[in-house]
Every structure is written in structure tokens, then in C-alpha cells.
Amino acid sequence: MSSKILKVGIVGATGYTGVELLRLLIGHEQVDIQVVTSNSEKDQYVANVFPSLSGYLDLKFSDHDSPELKECDVVFFATPHATSMHKIPELLNANVKIIDLSADFRLQNAEEWEHWYGVKHAAPELLKKAVYGLPEINRQQIANADLVANPGCYPTAITLGFLPLLENGVIDLNTLVADAKSGVSGAGRKAAMENLFSEASETFKAYGVAGHRHLPEICQTLSICSGQAVDLTFVPHLVPMVRGIFATLYAHLNQANVDITKMYTTRYIDEPYVDVLPEGSQPDTRSVRGTNMCRIAIHKARDSDKLIVLSVIDNLVKGAAGQAIQNMNIMFGLAEVMGLNLPAIYP
């Protein structure tokens, strides 16, 4: 294991994902946060913007073009989509490793990315080089990567929920359904009418039903894991809570007398951040709040070949900042759990 103290930069550190990176990295024993950027809060002390970090970090925000970024060992991009692709090539040329928490490098096909994000990709030559940062399927590739595309929150919960079934070929790939719910923080830290307390509280609604930007990412990953194309119906919902993803997944078994629980426990027995509960359990988002854990439970529908998988994560941790730090640990040969073994926040 490396004993080097890593010089870390964060681009776009004023969003929910950025401040979550700061919260977790402050407690990481082999990290020195060198530079944090924000064009909107430039020259402001981090603790003035986020009083929760007062006494932990004596840094001011720099702008996104800070030359200090090139002096870092690794830089996290917690920027809006279609931002990091303009800045990452220059940092890669300076031998800085990159973990991108936006969607800019998650899809392998430039035309498909441009279709979903509505702009021309600025660095399409890097799409094939970027490693998709889901450690449970790409750990070795992550260890050798210079550019990691951190997965989205919905794709993380859904992929981990379906993964053992896909790898063992025991489900019908043409009838997959993901009914997923997210807390309001998944929409980011920005002023938007639909995210106001009076708009989001005491209500529950679907969105992106005709096509959500995470759909191609999920289908790409599930297809790679299964070795063939999958047909997925994905419907996300907004629920009146701050954190959490709850994915209810449906699949039809194509084999009888399969011990599904054993299949899951065997697949994830060595994974530090996937917890398979006893069959029939009821995981909840509160049990993973503030942690890097994905908690999974399996249910079999009575007198049916239908399987129901429940998968819960914290969208800001395993769905974003925590998984990014997990990837950093792997990239630099550190203990994978370093800085991440925290109990859930309760209540």
C-alpha cells in the first residue's frame, strides 16, 4: 500500500457533491486538499460558504482555471455536465489523474452522448480511454486508469441490483424494469422551482418518463455485464427527502430452482460496500444515509417466475462522492475502504 500523501484538487466544490467530497476527504488520512474551485465563490473561504466545515479546512475557493490544479496528483470534477470535457485533456497532459463525477465520459459513443446532452462533445477521443468507475465490475481497470468516469447514482443502484442475475444468465433480458426514487439533492444545488420546499414537500412524482439521461448509461453497463443487449424500462421518481436512492427492480427468471440469495451473497462476499440482506428483508434509505454502502434484498413473487430486487444507496455517497473516493483509493493503491468506513446517520 502506498504511503504517499496525495495532493487533491476539486473543481466545482460548491455543489452538494463537491461539499460531500470535502466532508469525506477531510477525514482521509492520506489526502491533502490543495485547491478547491468555484467561479461563483472565488476568493471566499470554504468555511464561510459551508459553516459545517469550519475548523477543518483553511482554504479559499479559486477559479476553475487555477494553475494549482496541475500540481495535484488527482483532481475530482464535480461540475455540471458538458463542463469537465473542456478542461480534463489539459490536466491529463500534465500527468494529473482525473475522477469525473459528471456524465461527460460515462458513455462510450460520442453521438449518443451528444443526443442526450444536446451539445457537441469536446473530447470524444477520450471516451474509449475513460474507465467506468464502478469498482464491483471494473476494479482492475480502475487501478490502471488515468481518467475515471464516476457512475451516476441511479446507474449505481440499478446495476448493483441486477448484476449477479446478468452475470449468471438467469433472467429474461427483454423485460427488465427499474422503478427508482431519489431524494431532492439528486437534482443538484441550484435554484429551481420544482426543488423548492413548498413544491417538493408532501408530494411524489415521476419525471423523465419518456427518457432520462441515465438510461443510456444504465443500458450500456447492463449490456456489457450480460454480454448482450438488454431492454430496460426505467422510471425515476422524486420523493420528499434530502438523500437517498431506492430502486425496485423487476426481472423474470428463465431458470427454475435457482438459489438467488446464494448467488448474490457469493458475488458480493468480498465487496466492502455491497451488503446483501437475508431474503425477504426490507432495506431502507435511512440505513445507508451518509455511507458508501449499497444494501440489497431479494424477493420472489409468490407463484410466479418474477423476481423483485430492492437496492438502496445514498445518492451523494455511493452514488457520487463516496464512490469517487473509493475509485481514488484503488487508483493509488490505497486500502479501498480508507476514509469511507462510516456508520449511517441515524435518525
Number of domains in the chain: 2
| 153 annotated active-site | yes
Q: Does a structural domain hold residue 34?
A: yes
Q: Walk across the sheet containing 6-11 and list its strands.
A: 61-62, 31-37, 6-11, 74-77, 97-100, 147-149, 131-132
Q: Does a structural domain hold residue 164?
A: yes
The residue among 115, 250, 86 whose CA lies nearest residue 174 is 250
Range of the domain at 56: 6-129
339 class by beta-carbon count within 10 Å (0-12 exposed, 13-18 middle, 19+ buried):
buried
Residue 129 binned pLDDT confidence (cut-offs 50, 70, 90): very high
Q: Tell me: the pLDDT tens digits for 25-82?
A: 999 999 999 999 998 899 999 999 999 999 999 999 999 999 999 999 999 999 999 9
Q: Tell me: the pLDDT tens digits for 289-317?
A: 999 999 999 998 887 899 999 999 999 99
Q: What is the pTM of this model?
A: 0.96
Give me 159's grid cell: 446495476
Give me 16's grid cell: 452538494
User: Would the pLDDT of 135 be above 70?
Assistant: yes
Q: How many residues are present in the chain?
A: 347
- Whether the CB-CB separation of 161 and 309 falls below 8 Å is answered with yes
User: Would the pLDDT of 1 be above 90?
Assistant: no
| H and E: helices and strands count for the chain | 10, 14
Indicate if 178 and 98 belong to the same structural domain.
no
Q: Does a structural domain hold residue 225?
A: yes
User: At 232, which CATH number?
Assistant: 3.30.360.10
Give me 295's grid cell: 444494501
User: At 62, which CATH number?
Assistant: 3.40.50.720
- Whether the CB-CB separation of 219 and 173 falls below 8 Å is answered with no
Element (H, E) at 228: none
Q: Does a structural domain hold residue 134?
A: no
Indicate if 168 and 308 belong to the same structural domain.
yes
Q: Out of 153, 219, 225, 294, which one is annotated catalytic? A: 153
Q: Does a structural domain hold residue 172?
A: yes
Give me 67's grid cell: 494553475
pLDDT of residue 11: 97
pLDDT of residue 238: 94
Supply the mean pLDDT for the chain.
Answer: 95
Indicate if 13 and 47 belong to the same structural domain.
yes
Give me 274's grid cell: 455491497
User: Would the pLDDT of 191 be above 70?
Assistant: no
Q: Tell me: the pLDDT tens digits for 236-259?
A: 999 999 999 999 999 999 988 899
Bridging pattern class, strands 97-100 and 147-149: parallel
